Amino acid sequence: MLWTLQGYIFREMGKAFLLTAVALTALAGLTGGVMNILEAEQMTTRQLVLVMVRILPISAALVLPVAALFAATVTYGRLSADNELTACRASGINIHHLLLPTLLFSLVSALVTFYTINYVIPGLWANVAELVKSDAVHIVQNRLQSPGRLPLGQKARIYADAAEAVPGQVVDGVRRPDLLNLTRVAFVRMDKDRWISYGTAERVDIRFDKTVEPPTVAGEMYGAHYFDHKKLQWIGQEYSPLEATPIPQQADLKLKWRNLTELWRFVREPGMVPEIQEPLDLLRNAMVDASYYHGLAEQWSAAFDRREPLSLGDDKVRFELRSGNAVADAADGRLTFTDGVEVRQIIGDRHKTLKAGRAAVRIRRSEGGSAEVTLEFLDGVEISDPATPGRSSHKDQWESDPFALPSAVTDEVMRLSPRELLDRDAADTFRLRPQVRKLHGKLCDRLAVIRRDLVALIHARLAFSASVLVLVVLGAALAVVFRGSHVLTAFGIAFVPSVLMTVIIIMGRQMAEKPGTALTGLLIIWGGITLVGVLDILVLTRFVRR
């Protein structure tokens, strides 16, 4: 008999659960509730349709806890109102055994909610980001007609009256990049917020490279006529290249959209956090530069004591430098040679001699992070070439041909793991210069913030999933207590703890993200669930039994 009753209750709950889930899914998915998680703009119609196909299942999964709560209160409230629970008790059946369907529904809802918020939604966001990336041609095409125009980095903005997409052709087994042919083009070149030139072009061909991350656009401009603010004149160019720049991204995969496995990995290995990669590379580069300057200062000191020239350069260009003094910058260790600087530059079989008041060693890095070293000669430079004896040239300042950093210096820093670099004691361990020490301190502070955010996010997700289990049981128990016409009252009373639970989890997460209240925030997150669990036990043992 018990299995029959439980099956009956399960079917009744299933009907209410299904109808509620369908209604709430349509409400949340089609009216834009779930679409608010996407901050994508300028999407094409095709992209929006594809996104909606992914959104509806997510909406269904998110409304399951509310649907389970409503189904439990309605079903058990009607059973209690019709005195069916009283009849079961009179037959010697333990009322608590009839709560098995509620436990099953709550458990399934909790598991689905857990999987949805930890894997399905992050997967959706990753798919949307990939979808936008794959349809980059149409994204750029839409941006060309938008009020903001198409920004190419911080250096240019382009507007076109017409834009024709041309799919890449396969030539000799190799697929050429997709093209976007623009006609009747107007453009502005900028230096930060200052216009440096503006004009028009007959045609612009834009190429898309999706093999790199992030994908980039580059191209060529034909028949350009523009006004140059620096030269204060109009200039005409038949051909002008456009340098590669990242495509304007409409979907950004932030930490909060990562799945649970990735979040745990980031907590264990903070060096893998995407937001840390760029500043970590900057720190490595700064440490390489400081290490090179420090080693160079030691080499100069040893060479000065032996009355020998300091040797610099690589296989392409070499320098033999003599000076009376060398001064290291207090902030980053950059070297400046003074007191009668004399340098012999050797390129192959040719050489020339340079004399200057000062010479400074400078490391210059490209946007990709590659480095090269140059010597800057200051305070009057005299250049003598043996090929023209008796003749010398004079310049106010002069810069040498670049040469590569010694690989030994670069390899020494690159061998350090992210964990070693991000250790708080690394500044003292590696005797970092003040400027590098400051950069290291900022990175460690940022990492601490990210770690707290990760821990708070993980606990909030787990707590939200666990709350479904205790809240659905509470709804069924209250429905038995508030019987008959008070079913909606029971649902309302059960729904209030749901809202409070959500508020508590959000508040606990916000507190867990702050350094002074991190532990308190975690206690608040799980304290709310514990409180509802105690309330479940109290209602089931004290009131439902009566």
Residue 131 pLDDT: 54
**What pLDDT shows up at residue 154?**
45
Q: What angle do CA 226, 232, 235 make, to 5 degrees?
A: 30
How much is the pTM?
Answer: 0.70
Sign of CA dihedral 258, 263, 269, 273: positive
Contacts 24+ apart (CB under 8 A), 384-389: 384/352, 384/353, 384/354, 384/355, 385/352, 386/351, 386/352, 387/350
Q: Are 152 and 144 in contact (CB under 8 A)?
A: no
Q: Encoding tokens for residue 331?
A: 């902030």
d(CA 34, CA 59): 6
CA-to-CA separations, 405 to 175, 365, 411, 447, in angstroms, rounded: 37, 11, 10, 29
CA distance to 59, 249, 461, 542, per residue, from 124 (Å):
12, 16, 17, 45
The span from the CA of 69 to the CA of 532, in Å, is: 14
Place of tokens 């479940």: 536
List the chain pLDDT tens, one digit each, 546 residues.
677 777 888 888 888 888 888 777 777 655 554 445 444 444 555 556 666 666 666 676 677 888 888 888 888 877 877 777 777 777 777 777 778 888 888 888 889 889 888 888 787 766 655 555 555 455 555 555 554 444 444 466 777 777 777 776 655 665 566 777 888 888 887 766 677 888 888 888 887 776 666 667 777 889 888 888 777 788 888 888 877 776 655 444 577 778 899 999 998 887 788 888 888 888 888 888 888 888 899 999 999 999 899 998 888 889 999 998 998 888 778 889 998 899 988 888 888 888 898 999 988 887 666 788 989 998 888 888 776 776 778 888 888 888 888 888 888 888 888 888 888 887 777 777 788 888 888 888 988 899 999 999 999 999 989 988 888 888 888 877 776 555 566 667 667 878 888 899 999 999 999 988 999 999 999 998 999 888 888 888 876 665
In angstroms, the CA 420 to CA 449 distance is: 18
Residue where the block lists tokens 């392409």 = 316
Residues in the chain: 546
pLDDT of residue 459: 94
d(CA 305, CA 294) in angstroms, rounded, equals: 17
Do the Cβ atoms of 85 and 54 come closer than 8 Å?
Answer: no
Looking only at the bridges linking them, the beta strands covering 233-246 and 179-191 are: unpaired
